[in-house]
């Protein structure tokens, strides 16, 4: 109810009068807010969130990066600032205050938020990405240098390979500040660009609105489609106006896909069965090159490409394989082994999920402070090390 209340205030902050639903025990009452009272209501909501972050429910632990870096001094300095998109500090911290068990706890309200709220966001970014300076290099996909063999030519271990990036339109805010009309307009512009792709990248766009439950369930289970089940993203406004303005584009063979208005404005994905990372990566780069001719993506010096969550900046590139490693995964130092190679292990259904049948999702961990080519090379080297270790443990 609080998340809905705060977004109702946000959406009507420029009007002379708005109705806000407030919860009072089991009953609800209608409050009419006029003029200066509207600002007071917004400020009151921000203070409620701040107080919840400082004094979380006793049954919940709060160790988020937001809690660590948003000091009282910074809060007081930033609480009345606003971006050119209308974004506020409240938009950035709402999810982390409602969900005090968050790991990061803060989103950027819009591309401009990375500048206006830099005092806290920069600190969180450095902490999360383990960097001392925000000096992300210029893009270098290095596709001409990518010339490595299939990671698993026998097909015994790698089930599938996938590489994706996130992108944002530079002329729109992120979910907290978007209107329904914004989402529809973004969808239109994105789809127009996607429809210009040719040859092996040519595909069809399927809007989520109107899609049958059966088709939606099947596409999600096959890892082709997103859903609205993440409570952290929900509290940040990520599912407002669901499913309007959202959809999926994919080629007939489903080796190239684009998500429209999920967490980010756009996510471009290249994937296929087996371990041919080179082919998967080059297909993605080819699509990005073509789409850059039609769309302008949000960037900031030192941060690279900008997305909604500060955990996914810089290259925004995540290259992964679904790989069978039951022996290595069962060792007590599995996580330490992955950390050594800057790779991350997840369940095959995403973060915070378990492995199924000894199959794990192994991906590059670093996205900020290195080029796209360096990121893909780091993932390749890590997966090769995983394969070698699994075979050693299996006596092969």
Number of Cβ within 10 Å of residue 37's Cβ equals 14
Q: Please check if 105 is assigned to a binding site.
A: no
Helix, strand or coil, per DSSP, at residue 335: helix
The mean per-residue pLDDT over the stretch 73-83 comes to 95
Predicted pLDDT at 4:
33
> Does 167 appear as a known binding residue?
no
What sign does the CA torsion over 344, 347, 352, 354 have?
negative
Kind and range of the H or E run holding 121:
helix 118-129
Q: Report which of 344, 378, 375 is spatially closest to residue 360, judged by C-alpha positions.
A: 344
* 260-266 average pLDDT score: 95
Assess whether pLDDT exceeds 70 at residue 388: yes
Q: How confident is the model at residue 43 (pLDDT cuts 50, 70, 90)?
A: confident
What pLDDT does residue 278 have? 97
Q: Is 319 annotated as a binding residue?
A: yes
Q: Band of the pLDDT at 101, cuts 50, 70, 90?
A: very high
163 is in an annotated binding site: yes
Per-residue pLDDT of 10-19, as tens digits, reads 444 333 333 3
Q: Is 346 annotated as a binding residue?
A: yes
Q: What is the mean pLDDT of the chain?
A: 88
Q: Which residue has the higher pLDDT, 10 or 390?
A: 390
pLDDT score, position 14: 38
**Binding site annotation covers 35?**
no
pLDDT of residue 228: 85
* Nearest in space to 328 (alpha carbons), one of 277, 382, 366: 382
Residues 6+ apart with CB under 8 A from 222: none
**Per-residue b or e along 311-344, where b marks 16 or more CB atoms closer than 10 Å to that residue's CB:** bbbbbbbbbbbbbbbebbbeeeebeebbeebbbb
| Per-residue pLDDT at 94 exceeds 90 | yes
Task: State residue 41's pLDDT score.
Answer: 61
The pLDDT-based confidence of 356 (bands split at 50, 70, 90) is low
Instruction: Give the integer Cα–Cα distance in Å for 236 and 7.
Output: 9
Residue closest to 321 by CA, chosen among 249, 254, 391, 382: 382
Stated pTM of the model: 0.86
Asked whether residue 267 is marked as a ligand-binding residue, the answer is: yes
161 labelled as ligand-binding? yes
Q: Could you give the CA distance from residue 313 to residue 166 in angstroms, rounded to a whole number?
A: 9
Number of residues written out for the chain: 396
Asked if residue 318 belongs to a known ligand binding site, the reply is yes
How far CA 313 is from CA of 237, 274, 302, in Å, comes to 20, 28, 10
Kindly tell me the sign of the dihedral angle through the C-alpha atoms of 93, 64, 241, 186: positive
The answer, yes or no, to whether residue 351 has pLDDT greater than 60, is no
| pLDDT band with cut points at 50, 70 and 90 for residue 32 | very low
- Quick: pLDDT tens for 272-323: 999 999 999 999 999 999 999 999 999 999 999 999 999 999 999 999 999 9
88-109 mean pLDDT: 97
Residue 64 is predicted with a pLDDT of: 96
pLDDT given at position 224: 79
SS3 355: coil
DSSP letter at 211 equals -
Q: What is the pLDDT of residues 212-259, one digit of tens each?
A: 888 877 787 777 788 888 999 999 999 999 999 999 999 999 999 999
- CB neighbour list of residue 372: distance below 8 Å, 6 or more residues apart: 139, 140, 141, 142, 285, 315, 317
The yes-or-no verdict on residue 8 having pLDDT over 90 is no
Q: Find out whether 223 is annotated in a ligand binding site.
A: yes
Does the annotation list 347 as a binding residue?
yes
Annotated binding-site residue? 164: yes
Contact 296, 171 (CB under 8 A): yes
């Amino acid at each position: 109810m609080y998340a809905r209340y705060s977004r109702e205030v946000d959406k009507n902050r420029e009007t002379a009068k708005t109705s806000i639903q407030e919860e009072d025990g089991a009953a609800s009452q209608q409050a009419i807010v006029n003029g200066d009272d509207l600002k007071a209501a917004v400020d009151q909501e921000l203070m409620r969130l701040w107080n919840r972050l400082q004094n979380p429910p006793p049954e919940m632990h709060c160790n988020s990066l937001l809690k660590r870096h948003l000091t009282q001094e910074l809060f007081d300095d930033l609480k009345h600032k606003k971006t050119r998109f209308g974004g506020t500090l409240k938009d950035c911290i709402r999810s982390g205050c409602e969900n005090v068990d968050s790991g990061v706890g803060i989103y950027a309200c819009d591309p401009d938020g990375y500048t206006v709220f830099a005092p806290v966001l920069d600190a969180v970014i450095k902490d999360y990405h383990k960097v001392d300076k925000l000096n992300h290099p210029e893009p270098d996909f290095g596709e001409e240098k990518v010339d490595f063999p299939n990671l698993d030519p026998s097909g015994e271990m790698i089930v599938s390979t996938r590489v994706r990036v996130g992108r944002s339109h530079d002329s729109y805010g992120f979910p907290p500040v978007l209107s329904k009309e914004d989402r529809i307009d973004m969808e239109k512009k994105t789809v127009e660009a996607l429809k210009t792709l040719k040859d092996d990248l040519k595909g069809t766009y399927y809007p989520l609105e109107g899609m049958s439950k059966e088709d939606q369930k099947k596409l999600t289970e096959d890892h082709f489609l997103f859903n609205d089940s993440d409570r952290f993203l929900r509290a940040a406004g990520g599912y407002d106006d669901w499913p309007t303005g959202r959809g999926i584009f994919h080629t007939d063979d489903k080796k190239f896909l684009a998500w429209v208005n999920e967490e980010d404005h756009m996510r471009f994905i290249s994937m296929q069965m087996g371990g041919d990372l080179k082919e998967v990566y080059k297909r993605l780069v080819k699509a990005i090159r073509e789409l850059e001719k039609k769309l302008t993506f949000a960037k900031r010096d030192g941060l690279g490409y900008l997305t909604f969550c500060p955990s996914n900046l810089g290259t925004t590139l995540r290259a992964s394989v679904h790989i069978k490693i039951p022996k290595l995964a069962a060792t007590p130092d599995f996580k330490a082994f992955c950390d050594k190679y800057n790779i991350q292990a997840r369940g095959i259904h995403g973060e915070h999920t378990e492995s199924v049948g000894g199959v794990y999702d192994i991906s590059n961990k670093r996205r900020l402070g290195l080029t796209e080519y360096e990121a893909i090379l780091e993932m390749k080297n890590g997966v090769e090390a995983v394969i070698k270790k699994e075979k050693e443990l299996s006596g092969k």
